[in-house]
Amino acid sequence: MPENICVNCKNQIDKYIKILNLSTAEVDTLTKPRRSLTFSFPVPMDNGETKIFTGYRVQFNDARGPTKGGIRFHPRADIEEVRTLAFLMTLKCAVVDLPFGGAKGGIIVNPKELSKNELEHLSRAYIKQVYRFIGPDKDIPAPDVNTNPQIMAWMLDEYEKIRQASSPGVITGKPIELRGSKVRDIATALGGAFVLRKFLKTRNLSPEKTEVAIQGIGNAGSNIAKILKDWGHKIVAISDSNCGIYDENGLEIEKVIEYKKEKGTLKGFPNVKEITNEELLELNTNILIPAAMEDQITIKNAEKIKAKIILEIANRPTTPEADSILDKKGISVIPDILANAGGVVVSYLEWVQNSMNYYWSLEEVRKKLEEVMIRSANEMETACIDYKCNMRDALYITSIKKVLATEKLRGVH
């Protein structure tokens, strides 16, 4: 039987084992999830046939509170990926000081191949498999890659039907009508934009003087493109899974997003240069924002990265080996566990609102999000000075220490 261990997590923390002088038990805590669920389940298809899908839910660490993390629908989802993302959620919640541990879920599926009816059946069937293990005080799912508020609505409804009780706090990222939170739809992008704005301000870099390239035009990528354009930045490139587009004079982002919605692709967008995703990553630009999938900046292309600043809106877009190369090149990387934490911050605020049945205005949620992101960015900068290290090392060291301190108080070590 294979051991319940996250191999990628070990690679992620290897350098910190010596720095923090971690014991074997502490390393195990950071690399072995509390609970890893793998299950197969039937879903009826529109043609009358039944298809068997494989799903996952990993609850990595719950020392700091109930676990929290998204559910992704993706054809390449696997248990190791889900474990790794659950580990990163554990650290992310510690970075922004939320009373949550980390979790993640997924289904091996290409949702583009399913009808809306099949997608609903799939979403409800997933909840039937995990409902015993989730709940407002146990584990709280949310949207992730290829999932959205409608899918969360189906999942919430299925959970409440099974439990025969109203339980809005079991899932976040819900539609506003089902007691979701304002700002949640743009939270990941807005949180990252707040951190980037602070970073640039402390270095006297004005928006007008910074060019931005964004890999990914999904929820996070499209929203951060709109936000940064509104703040005066020039967005020179953006991509989808098929191709990228580039214009040195700046893209008209609203038109690009509208074109993508209509055509389903960026191919054929007029009066721009078409480029590959690889070429986008290697553009000579001030700011590069990976906002797509994992492992985009690797040992193969890290030497070719020319951006001065990288804002990681995607989860784990940079491999540890590539990270070392970027550091030696003097590229400032604002890591994912802070840069994209806006999503879980507003998920927390949604959970709080569900718990007390009182709902804040858009302005109040936006203000609370900014406060958390700026406070966390300040803590990161202090840690960089204290430990004489880069931003990723500062965040990993401080978040690991927070998680292990909580475990110690509980008597685990």
Q: What are phi and psi of 243, to 5 degrees?
A: -165, 175
H helix or E strand, kind and range, residue 104:
strand 101-108
92 catalytic residue (yes or no): no
Q: How far apart are CA 53 and CA 122, in angstroms?
A: 8
Query: DSSP secondary-structure letter at 135?
Result: B
The Cα 400–Cα 90 span in angstroms is: 9
Helix axes 24-31, 391-409, angle to 10 degrees: 110
Q: Are 70 and 104 in contact (CB under 8 A)?
A: yes
Contact 120, 154 (CB under 8 A): yes
Strand partners of residue 35? 59
Cβ(105)–Cβ(69) under 8 Å? yes
**Distance, CA of 117 to CA of 240 (rounded, Å):** 26
List the catalytic residue out of 92, 104, 174, 182: 104
The catalytic residue positions are 104
